[in-house]
Structure 1
Amino acid sequence: MAVYTSDLAGFLPDQTLNGMIEKTKTAGTIPALSAADPMKFGNVAVVTFDDDPAAEFVEEGGAKSSEDIKPARAVAAPHKAVVTYRTSDEFMWANEDYQLGILDKFSEKASRALGRALDLGAYFRINPKTGATISSWTNYLNATTLRTEVDSAGPELELEETVGLLVNSGVAPTGVALTGGYAWSFSTERYADGRKKFPELGLGIDVTSLGGLRASVSSTVQGKARDGDTTDNNVRAIVGDFNGGIRWGVQKQIPFQVIPYGDPDNTGRDLKGHNEVALRMEIVYAWYVFIDRFAVIENAAA
């Protein structure tokens, strides 16, 4: 029996949908380095304390003084990400095995795209589909003023210098997100006798730890919406406090849809008129980045 029929814009079975959402949450570097917060839909207030209080010794019968430190408030705003894919409406007539095969492949591609969208939005305020900057978004990681340039010193010293920028400003970094090329440069670092400095990195393809920091590798770090595109914003690594420096979560998991009518992706092509259906997956993220808790390693400006 087919999963979908011609008169139904339906939903995936729960086990398939759950798998898609899980892939989405684990596709980018942010979920690999930072745990998600449970969030309700809408703007979420994030309460912070910029300064640490000091304890006070009070002698017996002595008076206690007040602390002038006040909590601050930031807002994690919701941002919806959407993936739409058109296919022949023969999909609606096919048997269950064929339909699920199409849906599995779409879930893999869509989940990857949605996971990458979180990185691109929170790091660079980029719309992944167009590559354009969303100027109305004022909170994004790459606005940090803590920056190190790639030079002849090599990646090990560049990372050390960048961590120093954070430590000297009172931040304890917990993670690093790297481009594939920059991770590879660490994996090929050698001593004078030819021994690898970081043999545990293998070829730098699937790095999970570097210099005591959690690590994750993705081309999103240099602003690529898809692997293989030519975008390069010259960022090579992002170092920072991924535990407390970024607050993010999935606010809404919108059920997967098969849309048989209309022009849902504004292409100018009516679905029914061109014997097509549209597959759509949406997710609503929310995040807030404390940009002074991150530093960037980048190529020198040309």
Structure 2
Amino acid sequence: MGAITSGVFNLPNNLSDQIVKTVTSGSAVAALGKSQPQRFGNTQLITFTGAPKAEYVEEGDKKSASDATFGSVTATPHKAQVTVRFDQEVQWADEDAQIGALTTLADSGARALERALDLGVFYRLNPLTGNEITKWSNYLNSSTLRVTGTNDAAKDIETAVGKVLGAGDEGYDVNGIALTRSEAFALATAKDKQGRPLYPELGYGVTANAFKGIPLAVTSTVNPPEAVKRPGVRGIVGDFANGIYWGVQRNLPVELITTGDPDGQGDLKRFNQIALRLEIVYAWYVFAERFALIDEPAPAGDSASTGTGK
């Protein structure tokens, strides 16, 4: 029996593992924050509306209740899919050739799915259309902590860090920075008055993975070219470790499609093609108040604010 069969089948384990590994290394969300094991469906997360406080109690004294109360939020499933076309002859080829087609699907699918995770979490963006999914109310760009960018990238990051550290009653941790490539380059090539690089450890910012001890991801998903309306964000600073709860909820099934027009590129039979559709189900919840965004300054003469995504 060939590797590509009719109906729905699962990728070989090595290819499925490859996709998950690529997603968890190529996405800024995954690179800066660890995924959590998930069951399919909505996942309730217990939160405190106020941090509980300990109490010292002397021998014989009465114990008091903490004034903290419980709340909950829901990590919601979101399905992402990638459809790739192949010549129909792939079905008739030997198993090695069919495995090659599945490898191609895994490689291209992984790259698409890693971007899809960032775009959904950051901007509730549909990567294929470039439009916001307006019925999604939970996304990082809804944060009200904003910094208007200047010509000093390091100062902008410092201001954003300060906003996160000072947010809420006790502030939040800062354990991740995501920057556009142009912002990372500006930071890496900043020089002192004598023309010496201020941050030589960053190189040109292309492969930098930390700034002042904080993990750093450099990616175009911070200001994605897929967006019909670019968000105009230079950087995202905040609590990636605890501010984004995310995970993959199920295995990666592949659907073999032999008829119709599954992706808007014409009838499969007419073009002597088949299509393979790969699906992944993410779930996430973003605590947007734990993040600050560095926005592009408004163009001269434009008083409109940038970036909030609301």
Q: TM-score, normalised by structure 1?
A: 0.91
How far is 1:207 from its partner?
1.7
SS of 1:158's partner is helix
SS of 2:154's partner is helix
In structure 2, distance between residues paired with 1:49 and 1:103 = 45
Residues 42-121 of structure 1: pairs in structure 2 closer than 5 A: 42-121=41-120
How far is 1:231 from its partner?
6.2
Alpha carbons 2:23, 2:30 under 8 Å: kept: no
SS of 1:121's partner is helix
How far is 1:61 from its partner?
1.3
In structure 2, distance between residues paired with 1:55 and 1:14 = 48
Q: Which moved more, 1:285-294 or 1:90-99?
A: 90-99
Encode CA deviations 1:115-173: one digit per residue, 9 max, x unaligned.
Answer: 11111111101111001111110111001111101113x00111111111111221121
Q: Which residue of 1 aligns with 2:304?
A: none
In structure 2, distance between residues paired with 1:131 and 1:166 = 29
Q: Which residue of 2 aligns with 1:193?
A: 194
Aligned CA RMSD, in angstroms, stands at 2.0
After superposition, the Cα gap between the structure-2 partners of 1:60 and 1:12, relative to the gap in structure 1 and judged at 3 Å, is closer
Q: Which residue of 1 aligns with 2:245?
A: 247
Q: Which residue of 1 aligns with 2:3?
A: 3
For residue 246 of structure 1, what is the amino acid of its counterpart? Answer: I
After superposition, the Cα gap between the structure-2 partners of 1:21 and 1:45, relative to the gap in structure 1 and judged at 3 Å, is same
SS of 2:20's partner is helix
In structure 2, distance between residues paired with 1:273 and 1:141 = 43
Structure 2 unaligned residues grouped into runs of 5+? 300-310
After superposition, the Cα gap between the structure-2 partners of 1:198 and 1:50, relative to the gap in structure 1 and judged at 3 Å, is farther
How far is 1:9 from its partner?
5.8
Encode CA deviations 1:66-87: one digit per residue, 9 max, x unaligned.
Answer: 1121121000000000000122
In structure 2, distance between residues paired with 1:40 and 1:3 = 28
Q: Which residue of 1 aligns with 2:134?
A: 135
Q: Which residue of 2 aligns with 1:40?
A: 39
Residues 268-279 of structure 1: pairs in structure 2 closer than 5 A: 269-279=266-276
Alpha carbons 1:9, 1:259 under 8 Å: kept: no
Decide which of 288, 296, 299 is 2:296's aligned counterpart: 299
SS of 2:56's partner is coil
Decide which of 266, 278, 282 is 1:281's aligned counterpart: 278
Q: Which moved more, 1:99-108 or 1:143-152?
A: 99-108
How far is 1:96 from its partner?
3.5
Q: Which moved more, 1:61-70 or 1:249-258?
A: 249-258
In structure 1, distance between residues paired with 2:289 and 2:7 = 49
For residue 123 of structure 1, what is the amino acid of its counterpart? Answer: F
Tell me how many residue pairs correspond in the alignment: 296
Structure 1 unaligned residues grouped into runs of 5+? none
After superposition, the Cα gap between the structure-2 partners of 1:286 and 1:11, relative to the gap in structure 1 and judged at 3 Å, is closer
